[in-house]
Each structure stands twice: as structure tokens, then as C-alpha cells.
Structure 1
Amino acid sequence: MDAAVWGLGVAVLAASIVEMVEALTIVMAMGMTRGWRSTLIGVAAALAALAGFTAAAGYALATWLPEAALQLTIGTLLLIFGLQWLRKAILRSSGRKAMHDEDQIFAEEVSAARAAGADKRMGLDWFSFVVSFKGVFLEGVEVVFIVITFGLSARNMPVAIAAAVLGAVAVLGVGIAARGPLSRVPENTLKYGVGLMLAAFGTYWAIEGLGVLTADHESLGWPGGDLAIVALLVAWYLLSQIMVRALRRPVATPTVAVPRVSEEV
């Protein structure tokens, strides 16, 4: 496999793990607090909706857009996602934003579940069904976009889908074994890495897609081919580190009060 396909697999796997860890925290909180039946039905409904959304969006992009326009569209989407993830990683690394804490999120979700009233609809605990559906669907949509964009651009949807499924299964297996939120997963580090890869691949494909604006509407080429992705990855990493250092809050030095000695007259 070439560099693009390896990068595809790693990026989709890491993104799937990050998003599924967040979804698992919500599902665990609902299931352990309000019962598993309605919670798991909400999860199943969200997965079915994600499957339909993936098929429809993937078919539309692959069918309606020529190659260069597809690359420009996909590259732009990846840049948007990548810069969002990088922004959060930079703010957290610089101390401007609190680190993501799954234990705290789990406690907040449990508190909300206990405070919610009983609302039965169609034989389901509506609160746990809706919260589980929304949590899995919203976290999954981002993975779906990454799967579609990477899969179509690298012309290897099977690898993209397999990497996403592997990440979800791994998180589910560990979550069942731990019976709680996966607070030990280095989620912030993974988000930083995924953000770098999304930004690098997004830049690569967006620049290639600018060929749609030329007379022949053909994709542009990069010097060195796929090796340009490595250079872009290094460039985004260096830029992000510069921004971390520029935004880093200075560590407050505690001041020691010096007692004033009164002079004797």
C-alpha cells in the first residue's frame, strides 16, 4: 500500500476511536442510570441512520462531481474538520482550554439522566433513547465524513470503512471490559494527531482539486507525489507548535509576602 492508503487507515482509525470514546461515555451513562433496553435501541437507530447517510452522501459525491472538483470538495471538508480539531488541540496544549475529561463528562451525563423525569413513548424511556441516539449519531457523522472523504480521495473505500469499524469495535470491547468511561485513552493526543493528518491530507487534495479551475479541468500534481503529504504534515505540526507557544499562558509565580519591619524611633 502507498503512503496515501497508510495515512488513510491510520487517520480514520484514530478518528473513529476518538469519536466512539465520546459516544461510549454517553451510552454508558444512560444505560447504567436509566436501563439498557431503550439506550441500545437508540444506539441501533443511530447506526442505521449513519449507514443510510454514508451510502447516500458517498454515492452523491462520487457520481455528481468530476475528479478535480471531487478533490477540491473533499480537501476543503478535510481542512475544515482538521483545523477544528487542531484549534482545540492548540488551545488545550497552551492552557487556554481545559483538557477533555471523560470521567467528568460521564458524571455530568449521569446527573442529567437522574434528574430527567420519566417519559415513556412507544414503550421506550424517551430520554435515554434520544440522548443515546443523538450522542452516537452526532459523533458518528464526523467519522462518516472522514471515511467518505478519505475513501473516495484515496480510491479505497474498503480500507476506510474497515478502519472505522475496527476503531468502533475496539472501543466497544474495551468499554464492555472496563464497564465505564475510557478515561485513560489519550484522547487529546489522538485528536491532535488526527487534526494534523486531516489538515495535511486536506491541503494536499484541495490544491490538487484547484485544477478544476484550469482550462483542461485536470487535477494538479505535487512535486514528489504522495511524499508531499509528509512535508505538509511536518509544516502543519511546526505551525501548530508555534501557535501553542504564542498562546501559552505564563505560569503564575506565587508571591511571598514579606513582613514589613517597623523602624524604631
Structure 2
Amino acid sequence: MTGLALFLAVFLACIVEAVEALTIILAAGTARDWRSALTGMGAALATLAVIVAVLGPAITMIPLTGLRLVVGGLLLIFGIGWLRKAILRASGNKALHDEDAAFAAEEAAARAAASEQRPLVGDWYAFTLSFKGVLLEGLEVVFIVLTFGSNQHNMPLAASASVAAVAVVAISGIAVRAPLARVPENSMKFVVGAMLTSFGMFWGAEGAGASWPGGDAALLVIVPVVLLVALGYVAVFRRREQGPRTVGAAATTSQGV
């Protein structure tokens, strides 16, 4: 796996998580209290730093074969979950993820919540909403960085990709102070899901003792094949989803006649 492929995989995956975290922070700050929302974000980042400090050295102590088997399995679970949702959304069987709608829902819930003050925190609801959102999305970022970085023995590059992704989203969010609705998040989740699934297959097989023809170059075949299979599922599910509607529409027309 080349450095560019590692950087792009981590960068794209982390952008998706950063956009979702930004939406929650903006909703908490806009509807409630910016200081409390930013304090919650800072507390979550500090918690994540402690988690990285504890887990980072522990992961590097795992033998490479065992690490690839574990990482491959985790990435398969993670990637297939993303890819499944992306296939359902692309085929029309699940609503597309809308950052504007998510922001509006979070903002409405924040405005409706009762005010409560705690020591050092002006608005407890804004603090907890921001803290939980950043922590949960951040844990996924940490997982991606640790698994990719440790498996490729290039933690600095994986970490720099995540920092770059978060910086791009943060700067954009500060500039517009709105959810990044124009980011093609559903398309990105489709691509990232396929990439994570492919890497999971590749590393899991290597961890189990198999060897791929061409070594790392096999990923150049695995990723496109996974994408094509996913697109095939989209086409199949789209026909299934449209078929009953067409029959139902015809039945309604005949009944009306």
C-alpha cells in the first residue's frame, strides 16, 4: 500500500466523521451557548488524546500477523456497515443523509431542552451534546488512524491525514458557520466503505496466512471489484424497490377506472 493510498483512505474516512461532528457542534453553539459547546469539544479532544496515548503503544506491541488479522476483521465489520448503508441510500431504500436536516433536528432539540448550569459550564446541555458528538465521531477517527497507521507502520502519515481532514472541515465550518451540506457525504461514504472493506479483506487474508498475487498491488484490483459489486447491488435493489411501486401504481389506476 503506497503512502498516497494510505493518506487518501484515512483523509476521506476522517472527513466524513469530521463533518458529522461539526454539525453537532454548530447546532449546540447556535441554539444554546458557543462557549459551552466549544468547552465540550475541548474536553472530548482531551479524552481522545488520552485514549490514543494508551492504545497507540499497545497496538504496536501486537505481532504483525495477529495485528493484520484483527485489523482486517474490524475493518470488514466497519466497512461493510458503511457500504451497506451507502448501497441502501443509493438504491432509494434508505433516505439520503442530509446535513441540513441533521443540523435542523439537532438545533430544534437543543432549543427545546431545559437550561442547566454546572461548575465551569454555562450550559450543560450544549456541553454534553458537543462532548458526546465529538467523542463518538472522534473514536471512529482514532480507530481509523490506529488501524491503518499501525498496520502500515506509518502512524505519522495516517495521523497527518486525519489532522488535514479535520482542519479542512473546521476551517470550512468556521468560514460559513453552517453544516457542510455541499460535501457529497453519501458518495464519500460509498467510496470509503468500499475502500475499508477492501483493506479488511486484504489484511485479514494476509493475517490468516494467505498471500495475494502481486502483494500490495492486489489492492488495485480488489478495490474496483468491491466497488463494482456494490454498484451491482445498487442496481438490483433499485429494480426491486421500483418494481412494487409500478405494480401498485397500475393497480391504483385500474381501480380508479
| Aligned CA-pair RMSD | 1.6
Which of the residues 131, 137, 140 maps onto 2:138? 140
Asked whether 1:69 is paired with 2:66, we answer yes
Deviations 1:187-213 (A, max 9, x none): 0011111111111111111111012xx
Deviations 1:212-248 (A, max 9, x none): xxxxxxxx43210111111111221122122112211
Which of the residues 9, 27, 30 maps onto 2:28? 30
**Percent of matched pairs sharing the same residue:** 50
Partner of 2:228: 238
Note the 1:206-225 alignment, pairs <5 A: 206-211=204-209, 220-225=210-215
CA distance, structure 1, for counterparts of residue 74 and residue 2 of structure 2: 17
Which of the residues 88, 99, 102 maps onto 2:99? 102
Deviations 1:67-125 (A, max 9, x none): 10011011111111110110110010111100000111111111111110011111311
Asked whether 1:113 is paired with 2:110, we answer yes
Partner of 1:93: 90
**Pairwise CA distance, 1:257:** 6.8
**Pairwise CA distance, 1:259:** 8.3
When the two structures are superposed, what TM-score results if normalisation uses the length of structure 1? 0.90
Tell me if the contact between 2:99 and 2:181 (Cα under 8 Å) persists in the aligned partners. yes
- The answer for unaligned runs of 5 or more in structure 1 is 212-219, 261-265
Partner of 1:216: none
CA distance, structure 2, for counterparts of residue 117 and residue 245 of structure 1: 46
Deviations 1:113-157 (A, max 9, x none): 111001111131110100100000101111111100100111100
User: Counterpart of 1:58 in 2: which secondary structure?
Assistant: helix
Partner of 2:196: 198
Asked whether 1:175 is paired with 2:173, we answer yes
User: Mean alpha-carbon deviation: is it higher for 198-207 or for 249-258?
Assistant: 249-258
**Pairwise CA distance, 1:10:** 0.5
CA distance, structure 2, for counterparts of residue 95 and residue 14 of structure 1: 24
**Pairwise CA distance, 1:5:** 2.3
CA distance, structure 2, for counterparts of residue 78 and residue 50 of structure 1: 20
Tell me if the contact between 2:191 and 2:227 (Cα under 8 Å) persists in the aligned partners. no
Deviations 1:8-37 (A, max 9, x none): 111110111111111111100111111111
Which of the residues 80, 85, 96 maps onto 1:83? 80
When the two structures are superposed, what TM-score results if normalisation uses the length of structure 2? 0.92
Partner of 1:250: 242
Deviations 1:150-196 (A, max 9, x none): 00111100110000000000001011111111111000011111111
**Pairwise CA distance, 1:4:** 3.4
CA distance, structure 2, for counterparts of residue 12 and residue 55 of structure 1: 19
Greater share of residues in helix: 2
CA distance, structure 1, for counterparts of residue 168 and residue 236 of structure 2: 37
Tell me if the contact between 1:22 and 1:139 (Cα under 8 Å) persists in the aligned partners. yes
